[in-house]
Amino acid sequence: MTQVTRDPAWAGRVFWTLAGLAVLWPALVLSEFKPWVLLGPDALKPALRFVGDFFPPRTDTEFLLLLARETWRTVAMATAGLTLALLLAVPLALLSVRVLSLSALAGSMAPVPAALRQLVRWVLMLLRSVPELVWALVFVRVVGLGPTSGVLAIALTYGGMLGKVYADILESSDTHATSSLMRNGSGRLQAFFYALLPQTAAELTSYTVYRWECAIRSSAVLGFVGAGGLGQLMDSSMKMFNGSEVASILLVFMALVWLADRMSAALRKALA
């Protein structure tokens, strides 16, 4: 190989790889990343015993009935939480969308509506920046142990997330149809229902179903702080090192996620 045919990008590539590793190293140290402790004999044995317990999953009738009831409760929690979140997210998203501003049709937005939109964006940020686990801990103290606190926690956090993402989807869509309608004198909500919504319905639906899936998983975590559902069941099984029960619960989770995935695909197909 002669000097001329050497790849000129080679030196840069090596440099950036080494630089990346150099940045990664302190991060690994800081996060106490020591995977080899997993393989130590006194760590490996109990872990393997626990995982070995996973098989066979527990399938007696009594447990399956309990599992079915708690699954239903988890789905209900996620659905109720998401419905409440929608009630919060839809009006906030519509308020914060610039595309539906009449004053922005010709020139820049008027100062009062602009300030209102910024305020709504901050509210959405506040709602979603507090993790649902924290909201759940707050509500467990207010309304006591049980699914209610889980539902409220999901409603608040997911309201913030959905509102922000809805607003982003609406903003980034093609606005030609919407602005044309508003230019011809229709109202903002009319323009939303006749132009912006049909333009974005598939994305909005797909994202909402995806969030429903997230809410199911999230309600499992919330169960650990006493908000009921599959999570609480899993918590007690874990505490008693009952691997076969944990395995059954995990299988139910997979089934739920698969179901949500199929549902979202079907809805997207129907709306495409």
Partner 1 sequence: MKIQLKGLSGCHPAAKPGTTPALRGVSLDVSAGEQLAVIGPSGAGKTTLLHLLACALKPASGSLLLDGQDPWQLSRSALQKQRGALFLAPQVPPLPPRQRVVTAVLAGRLPHEGLWASLRSLFYPVDIPRAEQALAGFDLAYKLFERVDRLSGGERQRVGLARALVSEASLLLVDEPLSALDPTRSEHAMQTLTQAARERGATLVATLHHVEMALAHFPRILGLRDGAVAFDLPASAVTPAHLQALYAQHLHELNGPAIAPDDAIPSAAEPVVMLCR
- The footprint of partner 1 (CB under 8 A) covers 102-103, 105-107, 110, 165, 169, 173-174, 176-177, 179-187, 189-191, 193-195, 198-203, 206-207, 210, 213-214, 217, 268, 271-272
Q: Which of 257, 253, 224, 219 is nearest to 77 (CA)?
A: 219
Q: How far is the CB of 187 from partner 1 (least distance, A)?
A: 6
Taking the C-alpha atoms of 224, 230, 232 and 234 in order, what is their torsion angle to the nearest 10 degrees? Answer: -80
Of 12 and 131, CB closest to partner 1: 131
Q: State both tokens at 223.
A: 């169960």
Q: How far is the CB of 202 from partner 1 (least distance, A)?
A: 6
Q: How far is the CB of 247 from partner 1 (least distance, A)?
A: 23
Q: How far is the CB of 272 from partner 1 (least distance, A)?
A: 6
Cα–Cα distances in angstroms (integers) from residue 225 to residues 72, 139, 218, in the given order = 19, 11, 12
Of 30 and 272, CB closest to partner 1: 272
Could you tell me where the beta strands, DSSP code E, fall in the chain? none
Of 67 and 181, CB closest to partner 1: 181
Q: How far is the CB of 156 from partner 1 (least distance, A)?
A: 16
Q: Would you tell me how many other CB atoms lie within 10 Å of the CB of residue 89?
A: 27
Q: How far is the CB of 160 from partner 1 (least distance, A)?
A: 13
Of 79 and 101, CB closest to partner 1: 101
Q: Would you tell me how many other CB atoms lie within 10 Å of the CB of residue 34?
A: 10
Of 237 and 264, CB closest to partner 1: 264
Of 190 and 236, CB closest to partner 1: 190
Q: Which of 133, 210, 111 is nearest to 165 (CA)?
A: 210
Q: How far is the CB of 227 from partner 1 (least distance, A)?
A: 18
Helix 197-223 and helix 132-143, axial crossing angle in degrees, nearest 10: 60
Q: How far is the CB of 230 from partner 1 (least distance, A)?
A: 17
Q: Which of 107, 117, 139, 104 is nearest to 228 (CA)?
A: 139
Cα–Cα distances in angstroms (integers) from residue 177 to residues 57, 126, 180, 197, 205, in the given order = 55, 32, 5, 11, 20
Give the residue ranges of DSSP H helices in 98-187. 111-129, 132-143, 147-172, 176-183
Of 58 and 211, CB closest to partner 1: 211
Of 144 and 187, CB closest to partner 1: 187
Q: State both tokens at 166.
A: 């809805």
Q: State both tokens at 108.
A: 């820049």
